[in-house]
A and B are shown apart, each in its own frame.
Chain A
Amino acid sequence: MTVAGGPVIPNFGTGSSCEVNNGWFCTDWVREHWGDTLQPALFQHIELVAIAVGIGFVVAVALALAGFRYRLLDPPIGVFSDFLYTIPSLALFQILIPFTGISVTTVEIALVSYTLLILYRNMSVGLRAVPAEVVEAARGAGYTRMQTFVHVEAPLALPAILTGLRVATVSTVSIATIAPFVIAKGLGQPIYDALGQDVFKTEIFTAGGMVIALALVLDGLLVAVQRMLTPWVRV
């Protein structure tokens, strides 16, 4: 964590004239620091997001199954995930640090709790939106309760579930930039470093641009997965 008022150019050597004058975009800086700053930050960022969304997805599935099987549980689970979502991240870090310390765990717990609302709500709504007559036809044809869930309800909820996964992934890519408040990881770090009395433009644009690009790429990949898994939606 760099304190505001530090050097104008972080991660610098002597620097080109562009860097010294803090030009809008210095390609030589990017080239020079891709290997030691930007690429590692990108990979850390992907890791932060993958772990958060992965764990969030598993937890949300478990909660959604419970809320679907026992309808009474749905409202409290929903309210709980709403509540988690409303806690400001900086406050959440303060609450967690005494327990989990200055660690990746602290960051991941925060990120996971922000994915839950989106993932859980979409799963819950998706499962409930399965038309009653389709379920009745399945039961009438002699599907067991389990078969109805596995072969009818879950696949029909898939479009909503995957939409939730897309939103959760994109928002986590963005939220994960606050990780440097706890640990020096992810694309938030170069953004943070670029902040000073005079913002170092090249670094903030590059790292910021990478966050946006990462979000778009992951979203695109998930759209492709969605099309592959739910061919009936587009016909």
Chain B
Amino acid sequence: MPGQAAELVFDKATKRYEGREGDAVQDLSLTVPAGEICVLVGPSGGGKTTALKMVNRLIAMSSGDIRIDGTSINDQDVVQLRRGIGYVIQQVGLFPHMTIEANIGTVPRLYGRPRSWIRTRSAELLELVGLDQSYAKRYPSQLSGGERQRVGLARAIAGNPPIMLMDEPFGAIDPIVRERLQDAFLDLQNEVRKTVVFVTHDIDEAIKLGDRIAILRTGGRLVQYDTPRAVLESPADDFVAEFVGRDRALKALALRTISELELGPAADGPRVAKTSTVRDALSLAIEKRAHVLAVTDGETVVGSVTRDQLTS
């Protein structure tokens, strides 16, 4: 089975549909470094999903190239290519007639792994995605939407693919569970370090999850490919500025944690953990009408920040 993360390169990748005007994806060129999460974001009709599906050749490219660690996807056997790419979709698509364990074992089974190996691997993955071992013998219909997508995630990484494609995986899940799944996904990514292409139309999700964000606009044109902070602080044009929202300055605050600031001496005030975001700290300061916050590390106060520091 494949192993570590790979570099993914889109090189003028283009998709045109017969009899339809304009391109679905136009000359898309970007590089996703190994082990990073690249979020494709944009309005519908922006070609995000098309771009994603070109990678595992569920949609055939019209022109251009996509390379994984330097090898063109068109030079590989399509079945082998797909086995090396984890694929997670919004509707999850678990196999209803297979137990959770068998679902997770999909790709290892294709690689001819023995049953005992699959059982161990599936137990390991259930734990990794935060599900109890008792789920192994259940069927998908017995799980909630959020639990199903956790299994979908486990199934996608079971074959240890260097690349993961995620097509609005949390789009159909209610906001509270979605946030938990996003956190679970980030924890997972910290552990497995895959190269991930993640499609969403939710800019907040893009900011939260992406190491880099690619903003596509109608006609499948890439307008900006940057870190979340750069996208928020210096949008490439009015389209991006509008897309990220008028509160982009506030959103940017969510990207920094208190520990990145220069702390003042320990002081009295409402307490905030040094791991919390600047945005959350500011919200607390406003709520408590406080000008100084006490910064804590566990139970101990390790310093302070002022409201001015938070907003500058």
Asked if A pairs with B, the answer is yes
Whole-angstrom distance from the CB of A231 to the nearest CB of chain B? Answer: 8
Whole-angstrom distance from the CB of A168 to the nearest CB of chain B? Answer: 23
The answer, among A142, A231, A235, for a CB contact under 8 Å with B107, is: A142
Q: Which residue of A lies closest to B81 (CB)?
A: A142
CA–CA, A147 and B91, complex, Å: 21
List B42-99 residues whose CB lies under 8 Å from chain A: 56, 58, 79-85, 87, 89, 91-98
Establish whether residues A137 and B87, one from each chain, have CB atoms under 8 Å apart when the complex forms: yes
- How many positions in chain A have a CB within 8 Å of any CB in the partner chain? 22
B106 contacts across to A, CB distance below 8 A: 138, 141
Q: Which of the segments A4-12, A40-48, A97-105, A128-136 contacts the partner chain?
A: A128-136
List A122-161 residues whose CB lies under 8 Å from chain B: 131, 133-144, 147, 152, 155-156, 158
The answer, among B87, B92, B139, for a CB contact under 8 Å with A141, is: B87
Binding site secondary structure of chain A = helix
A16 within 8 A of B: no
Establish whether residues B93 and A232, one from each chain, have CB atoms under 8 Å apart when the complex forms: no
Establish whether residues B56 and A140, one from each chain, have CB atoms under 8 Å apart when the complex forms: yes
Whole-angstrom distance from the CB of A107 to the nearest CB of chain B? Answer: 37
Query: Known: A140-B82, A141-B83. Is A133-B93 also a contact (CB below 8 A)?
Result: yes
A230 within 8 A of B: yes
A155 contacts across to B, CB distance below 8 A: 97
Establish whether residues B141 and A232, one from each chain, have CB atoms under 8 Å apart when the complex forms: yes
Establish whether residues B82 and A133, one from each chain, have CB atoms under 8 Å apart when the complex forms: no
Establish whether residues A156 and B96, one from each chain, have CB atoms under 8 Å apart when the complex forms: yes
A134 contacts across to B, CB distance below 8 A: 93-96
The answer, among A139, A144, A147, A232, for a CB contact under 8 Å with B139, is: A232
Q: Which residue of B lies closest to A144 (CB)?
A: B79
Whole-angstrom distance from the CB of A232 to the nearest CB of chain B? Answer: 5
B87 contacts across to A, CB distance below 8 A: 137, 140-141
- Contacts A139-B82, A232-B141 known; 14 new A-B pairs at CB < 8 A: A131-B96, A134-B93, A134-B95, A135-B93, A136-B93, A140-B58, A141-B82, A141-B110, A147-B110, A152-B95, A230-B97, A232-B96, A232-B139, A235-B138
Can you offer 25 A-B residue contacts whose CB atoms are under 8 A? A131-B91, A133-B93, A134-B94, A134-B96, A136-B93, A137-B87, A137-B152, A139-B58, A140-B58, A140-B89, A141-B83, A141-B87, A141-B106, A141-B107, A142-B80, A142-B81, A142-B83, A142-B84, A142-B107, A158-B97, A230-B97, A231-B139, A232-B98, A235-B141, A235-B142
